[in-house]
Amino acid sequence: MSFLSKVSVRSPWLYRINAGSCNGCDVELATTALIPRYDVERLGCQYCGTPKHADIVLITGPLTARIKDKVLQVYQEIPDPKVTIAVGICPISGGVFRDSYAIEGPIDKYIDVDVNIPGCPPRPQAILEGIAMAIEIWKQRL
Amino acid sequence: MMLEVMNTLILKAVLAPLVLFPVAAAVLVFGLLLKGVDRIVVARLQRRVGPPLLQPFFDILKLMSKQSMVPIGAPRTLFLALPMIGACSMCLAIALVPIVGVYEPNGQFGDLIVLLYLLTVPAIVLMLAGSASGSTFGAIGFSREMSLMLAYEGPLLLVLISVAMKTGLAQGDLITFSLMDIVHYQQDNGSFLFDPWMWPAVLAYLSIIPANLGIPPFDIPEAESEVLEGPLCEYSGPALALFKIMSTMKTMVVLALGIVMFIPGNATGMMALIGFVFKCLILFLLTKSLLRASVGRMRIDQAFLFYFKWPELLGIVGLLLVVFKG
Ligand code: SF4
């Protein structure tokens, strides 16, 4: 592993994609994972506003039919190497929305998911652990 | 292949001036360390653990190893040249600011006026970058950056003129723009910071710093939760790293300029260096970390009005005091 990639591992930037979630998982991500008790910044993470800056993608929601194309388009814009995390039971299996006519998920039909964080919504500790696992995977891709 | 060439080109463009001019490199390292301190302080104020001290270095090195994407429809050359122009302008600017007792610039290179022009380059680069990227968010960032710049340039000019006139009047000319003259005058007659007649100017300068550097509550052009980092929206990889370097250098230029104008001190050698670091740290914590940890973001119209009312007023009062009190 080169010096550059050794250092890079310590600065993964996170980007959230909401693929039609009920907002429960987003609240967990936006607040719980970043408030005093559960600080992801100590892993060097930072939430970034645009897909162009992202290293680790957190996808929430069951991928509704209306939003599918947009999600795939945004996902395309994220520069490589990237790691994908599915947050909540929704993107993994459809969760409470499974078999609905309005959803196109599960998400791994369209996108290679690297880490699943199950839960409805997942606990903040689980999210942190998922991000730590994603960093490990990212290390191998660099 | 193309990408590889581009990345090495950009890297060389950054490294060449830094190697030629070690002061800029040292200042850059110091600036990044300050940024690390800032992130830890803010985290501690919010009762978090915070990132490691070297986090800004990691971020920049990480960006160097990523792809640099150019959006379809954007003018490729301009899009990639802008960050280089920005970073280089700030390397030049830092060469003009004396670090008292450690580094004295050659007066022939330029004075306060050149510095004032150089200081506006990053804002203009950001504006151009926003519009060149062809993205809507970039365009919004462009317009916000422009209104903010209009608002803070006025008071900034007033402050610089107050300081220049104060020195100039005392030396018999009307006004002097040489930074070394300003430093020497203060070394002989006491720092402006301890002169009550200069306090309006000091306050005005302090209140300009957050808008000039894009610190909350005035980080409106780059609000990541509203306009996706505005002008930086479409940038990635080394080009984005250059923007980070540019903003770090700009922080250092603005801090160093504040120190030169108001409290240069008399020390030389090692003591001067320690003093400089100490003053930078205090000024930085005061105008960045504390502010960032404690306030939200203003709307652009509120920020605009704020700058037109208070810093402008302080600047005018400061200038009048200088003119009439000498
Ligand atoms: S997993 Fe549960 S909380 Fe999360 S988006 Fe789906 S329904 Fe909402």
Contacts of B240 (CB under 8 A, 6+ apart): A52, A53, B63, B83, B232
For B218-268, the pLDDT digits (tens) are 777 777 666 677 677 777 778 888 888 888 888 888 888 888 888 877 777
List of chain B residues whose C-beta atoms are within 8 Å of the C-beta of residue A47? 224
What are the DSSP calls for B246-294, one per residue? Answer: HHHHHHHHHHHHHHHHH---S--HHHHHHHHHHHHHHHHIIIIIHHHHH
CA of A23 from ligand 1 middle (Å) equals 7
pLDDT at residue B1 in the model: 34
* HEC sequence for chain A: CCHHHHHHCCCCEEEEEECCCCCHHHHHHHHHCCCCCCCHHHHCCEECCCHHHCCEEEEECCCECCCHHHHHHHHHCCCCCCEEEEECHHHHHCHHHCCCCCECCCHHHCCCCCEEECCCCCCHHHHHHHHHHHHHHHHHHC
Handedness of CA A110, A111, A117, A123 (dihedral sign): negative
pLDDT at residue B240 in the model: 84
List of chain A residues whose C-beta atoms are within 8 Å of the C-beta of residue B235? 52
> How much of chain B exceeds pLDDT 90, in percent?
0
Contacts of B122 (CB under 8 A, 6+ apart): B86, B89, B90, B246, B247, B250
Task: Tell me which of B115 and A2 has the higher pLDDT.
Answer: B115
Pocket test for ligand 1, best of A16, A17, A18, A25 (most atoms within 8 A of CB): A25
CA of A120 from ligand 1 middle (Å) equals 5
pLDDT at residue B17 in the model: 60
Q: CA-CA distance, A65 to A44, in Å (whole number)? A: 35
List of chain A residues whose C-beta atoms are within 8 Å of the C-beta of residue B58? 7-8, 10-11, 44
Q: Are B43 and A41 within 8 A, CB to CB?
A: yes
The pairs formed by B268-273 with CB atoms below 8 angstroms and a separation of 24 or more are B268/B101, B269/B101, B269/B102, B271/B101, B272/B99, B272/B100, B272/B101, B272/B102, B273/B99, B273/B101, B273/B102
Domains in chain A: how many in total? 1
Q: CA-CA distance, B319 to B162, in Å (whole number)? A: 5
Q: Is the pTM of this model over 0.95?
A: no
Å between A50 CA and nearest CA of chain B: 5
Q: Name every protein residue with a CB atom under 6 angstroms from any ligand 1 atom.
A: A 21-22, 24-25, 60-61, 88-90, 95-96, 120-121
List of chain B residues whose C-beta atoms are within 8 Å of the C-beta of residue A36? 46-48
Å between B223 CA and nearest CA of chain A: 8
For residue B172, pLDDT beyond 60: yes
Nearest to B69 by CA among A138, A131, A58, A77: A77
Residue with the smallest CA separation from ligand 1 atom 8 is: A22
Q: CA-CA distance, B10 to B26, in Å (whole number)? A: 20
> How much of chain B exceeds pLDDT 70, in percent?
89
Å between A97 CA and nearest CA of chain B: 28
List of chain A residues whose C-beta atoms are within 8 Å of the C-beta of residue B234? 50, 52
Residue of chain B whose Cα is closest to the Cα of A36: B48
- CATH number of the domain bearing residue A71: 3.40.50.12280
Residues of A with CB under 8 A from a CB of B: 4-5, 7-8, 10-11, 35-36, 39, 41-42, 44, 46-50, 52-53, 55, 77, 79-80, 142
pLDDT tier at B279 (50, 70, 90 boundaries)?
A: confident
Q: Which letter does DSSP use for residue B174 in this model?
A: S
Interface predicted TM-score (ipTM) of this complex, two decimals:
0.77
Q: Which letter does DSSP use for residue B99 in this model?
A: B
Q: CA-CA distance, B270 to B7, in Å (whole number)? A: 38
For B44-57, the pLDDT digits (tens) are 887 778 788 888 88
Q: Among A73-82, B2-11, B104-113, B169-178, where is mean pLDDT lowest?
A: B2-11
Nearest to A52 among B48, B225, B234 (CB): B234
Å between B47 CA and nearest CA of chain A: 5
Q: Which letter does DSSP use for residue B97 in this model?
A: S
Q: What angle do CA B286, B118, B249 make, to 5 degrees?
A: 45
Q: CA-CA distance, B87 to B116, in Å (whole number)? A: 16
**What's the one-letter identity of residue A80?**
D
Domain that holds residue A102: 3-141
